[in-house]
Structure 1
Amino acid sequence: MESEGARTDRLSLLLDQFDKAREMAEVRLTGLGDEEFLWEPVPGCWSLRRRAEAATPRAFGPGEWVLDQGAPDIPASEYAEVARQAAGGMSVAKIADDWSVSVERVEEILAHPDAPEPDETPVTTIAWRLSHLHFHFQGGWEWTFGGRSQEPKLMVDFTPSAALALERFWALIDRWRDSVGALTEEQLDTVGLSQYPYGSDPDEPYIGVLSGANLEFIHHMAEIALLRDLWRARSTTPG
């Protein structure tokens, strides 16, 4: 039975999904401290580090603290999407450019789309996950609703303070939500409304970009929630 007054248009459904995910995430992130924020559950984690201590070749950020980033590649979870893009007419060269990989790498994936090898991406810390979301949504807002000029990887001054990181992140999410909530049906169908420079946003109707942003938020917050569970188990396990 449909709830009285419930809206079922495309934007409302995506906003309701996002709002519920945000509500759950805020509860799960309550009480996050600095030690847990930077906790590395296994050796070799990607995390947030001082610039002089960066452990990866493409760590980025405008200030003292930078976010680990390894060599570019296409994760196995995106192989099916790459196949769909190619089937939809996107050139191999364009796909390669979007992912910053070689044409040969894309061709290799397209030759075996149903048999992806396991990813070797390192485990990440809560700090990495939250900072990744922050720069993604900051850049997404800038290249859709802002001046469309700033480099996303230089827009967020990363911090090792969990409280400050969360304060800044939720303020950004408030702005994102307000801007998305004001979109028109025409804008949702506009190809290139987002000109975000990493990925395929400029080639997609914005409704698809928005759906992808929801997925990005949900899956990273789910991973953060798991890391919080592991931290708690670590702290309470005897011996």
Structure 2
Amino acid sequence: MTEGTRTDRSGLLLGQFDQAREMAQVRLKGLGDDEYLWEPVAGSWSIRRRGESPTPRAYGPGEWVLDRGVPDIPASEYAEVARQAAGGMAVSKIADDWSVSVDRVEQVLAHSGEPEPDETPVTTIAWRLGHLHSCLAGQWEWTFGERRREPRLLVDFFPSASVALDRFWDLIGRWRDGVAAVTEEQLDTVGFSQYPYGSDPDDPFAAVPAGANLEYIHHMAEISLIRDLWRGRSTTSG
């Protein structure tokens, strides 16, 4: 263990976040607009001008919106839904969190065996970064902010990689400052975060930054892979 390393809950959460942020900042250096908006395959999800998205629930407050499809529970979340139900969460609440019907939740809970792999769309770097920005902005607003604004209308999406990154790094700095100021008692407080899209209101707050770290790490890994594919595209074409 490095001398001075914190091993309390906040310290572990913040240390993990800081290391992931440092790695992401290195990996995202030099990101250009063409790469940021590159669609690796036909039908990729991205950010698009309002009115040009082929997806039914694209959102955003400005000229550019983030592609978003019909609501569903992905197979990767079946186990989490089962844990929530086993822990006493009402099926109707789970359905509300996922914007699906009660019948769909019951179908997931009744599933046995290995679920079929999700047929998820390939996404651009712009989409992944915009999705992360939108989620964290909503969690900040409903944890440390006024807890009243619609989370999906908090972030303007931009076709400029440099603008999007500058705003994103600023947001995650504010998120980290908020988490760093949380007390041990608040870490154990159920509903300290009231972010409406998910289980935050039903969880002790310690689970919220832990989940945010997981979301951040896995999406940044995906972004890094897209950068690798972009760099190698000229050697595999033709």
TM-score normalised by structure 1 residue count? 0.97
Corresponding position of 1:223: 222
Corresponding position of 1:95: 94
What is the CA distance between 1:6 and its match in structure 2? 1.8
Deviation per CA, 1:57-84: give whole Å up to 9, x if none.
0000001100000000011111110010
Structure 1: runs of 5+ lacking an equivalent: none
Mapping 1:190-201, distance limit 5 Å: 190-201=189-200
1:88 and 1:113 map into 2 onto residues whose CA distance is 19
1:36 matched to 2:57: no
What is the CA distance between 1:156 and its match in structure 2? 0.5
What is the CA distance between 1:94 and its match in structure 2? 0.9
Mapping 1:76-95, distance limit 5 Å: 76-95=75-94
Structure 2: runs of 5+ lacking an equivalent: none
Corresponding position of 1:3: 2
Counterparts in 2 of 1:92 and 1:238: CA distance versus 1, 3 Å: closer
Corresponding position of 2:124: 125
Corresponding position of 1:48: 47
What is the CA distance between 1:238 and its match in structure 2? 5.9
**One-letter code of the match for 1:65?**
W
TM-score normalised by structure 2 residue count? 0.98
Mapping 1:103-118, distance limit 5 Å: 103-112=102-111, 114-118=113-117
1:25 matched to 2:24: yes
* Cα RMSD, aligned residues only: 1.0
Check the 8 A contact 1:83/1:113 in 2, yes or no: no
Identity of matched residues, %: 75
Runs of 4+ in 1 over 4 A off after TM superposition: none
Alignment length (residue pairs) = 238
Mapping 1:68-79, distance limit 5 Å: 68-79=67-78
SS in 2 for 1:157: coil
SS in 2 for 1:53: coil
SS in 1 for 2:2: coil
Counterparts in 2 of 1:114 and 1:8: CA distance versus 1, 3 Å: farther
Deviation per CA, 1:168-195: give whole Å up to 9, x if none.
0001111111111111001101100110
Check the 8 A contact 1:134/1:156 in 2, yes or no: yes
Corresponding position of 2:212: 213
1:33 and 1:236 map into 2 onto residues whose CA distance is 19
SS in 2 for 1:52: coil
2:103 and 2:151 map into 1 onto residues whose CA distance is 27
Mapping 1:153-172, distance limit 5 Å: 153-172=152-171
Deviation per CA, 1:101-131: give whole Å up to 9, x if none.
0111111111115421211221110000000
